[in-house]
Structure 1
Amino acid sequence: MTTSTEHNAAACRASRHTRVQHLVTADETSLVELETLLATLPICSTGRVFIEVPDESWTGLVTAPPRMTLTWLDRSRRAGAPGTGRGCAPGEALARAVSGWAGEMLCADDDATRVVLLGGYLGTAEIVDDLTSRHGVEASAIHTPERFGLATAR
């Protein structure tokens, strides 16, 4: 039995249509990149979008395919590293959210999750390290902004 990879309305409704899970991260510096990426995904895309912002004034309307869950991470409402008494640093909420998500969702050896990490360098580098070292994701399967120089596929 083969599954269709064509992405049109009829194909997306078919029960045998291949659906690849997506993991997408962004922060307040990459909202335009995020909107552009989400606009290019097929309507039948599934997965998770995490967006870290400084405070709730940054939250707004972001359009994602209906089967994708979007979560805003407000740094002003989160604590920093345990025991430090500090506030949440840029990238910290994203790294925690992705680590928790990956622990639950990346459990199959043949997982084909598409990972796109937008946003700041520190959070992105920490997420890449966590996904590759703790969760066995190949670095070549993680897409990051080229300007970061992280060893990932383009």
Structure 2
Amino acid sequence: MTERTPSSEHGTAACRAPRHSRVQHLVAADESSLGELEVLLATLPLCSTGRVFIEVPDESWIGTVSAPARMTVTWLARSRRSGLPGTGRACAPGAALHRAVVAWADEMLCESDDQTRVILMGGYLGTADIVDHLTGVRGIPGSSIRTPERFGLATAR
């Protein structure tokens, strides 16, 4: 039996096949990780599905990223969002990303055998809060969440 390579699994013909499995992706990034995000998105198979959330300081940071056609990209400008309700404060770095990712996960990750690939590239505070929610509330094993190694957040990579 010949071992399949990723490129043969995700060739044009395979992606068009009705029974081709498509793993959903949840990707979160901020202005500090835009370069890493571009590299990640360029390496995903064209048939990838999922959601990309990108938090930036303001609208001037919003640009075009090349994501697979079945992935939705959402830009979150902090300047257009508020901080904690009732405080009158501005949106802190990581807060908009945390709110968006947690809301999406709570709505979309409904099965215990969900195989969504979670890749978090934002700053430490927002990423740590997202990991806490995904592991504590959603029950996703830390080993299936990819975060920057320097954060030391997900376990057993």
Matches of 2:142 and 2:133, distance apart in 1: 11
Q: Which residue of 2 aligns with 1:19?
A: 22
Distance 1:50 1:151 in 2: 19
Aligned counterpart in structure 2 of residue 101 of structure 1, from 95, 99, 104: 104
Distance 2:118 2:112 in 1: 16
Q: How does 1:108-119 map to 2 (within 5 A)?
A: 108-119=111-122
Q: Residues 127 and 45 from structure 1, CA distance in 2 versus in 1: closer, same or farther, beyond 3 angstroms?
A: same
Distance in 1 (CA, whole Å) between partners of 2:130 and 2:112 is: 19
Distance 1:77 1:95 in 2: 15
Q: Percent identity?
A: 74
Aligned residues: 151
Per-residue CA deviation, residues 113-143 of structure 1 (Å, 9 max, x unaligned), is 0000002000000000011111111111100
Look up the match of 1:82: 85
Q: C-alpha separation between the residues in 1 aligned to 2:141 and 2:73?
A: 24
1:49 aligns with 2:66: no
User: Given the alignment of the two structures, is residue 29 of structure 1 paired with residue 32 of structure 2, yes or no?
Assistant: yes
Q: Provide the C-alpha distance between the structure 2 equivalents of 1:32 and 1:123, rounded to a whole number of angstroms.
A: 18
Taking only aligned residues, the RMSD between alpha carbons, in angstroms, comes to 1.2
Distance between the aligned counterparts of 1:33 and 1:152, measured in 2? 21
Q: What is the TM-score with the length of structure 1 in the denominator?
A: 0.95
Normalising by structure 2, what TM-score? 0.93
Structure 1 residue 151, shift from structure 2 partner: 3.0
Cross-structure match for 1:133: 136
Cα distance in 2, alignment partners of residues 138 and 53 from structure 1: 28
Contact 1:143 1:152 survives alignment (8 Å) = no
In 2: Cα distance, 1:53 partner to 1:153 partner:
30
Q: Contact 2:146–2:154 (CA<8 Å) still a contact in 1?
A: no
Query: How far did residue 149 of structure 1 move?
Result: 1.3
Q: Which amino acid aligns with 1:108?
A: E
Displacement over 2 Å in runs of 4+? 151-154
Asked if 1:122 corresponds to 2:94, the answer is no
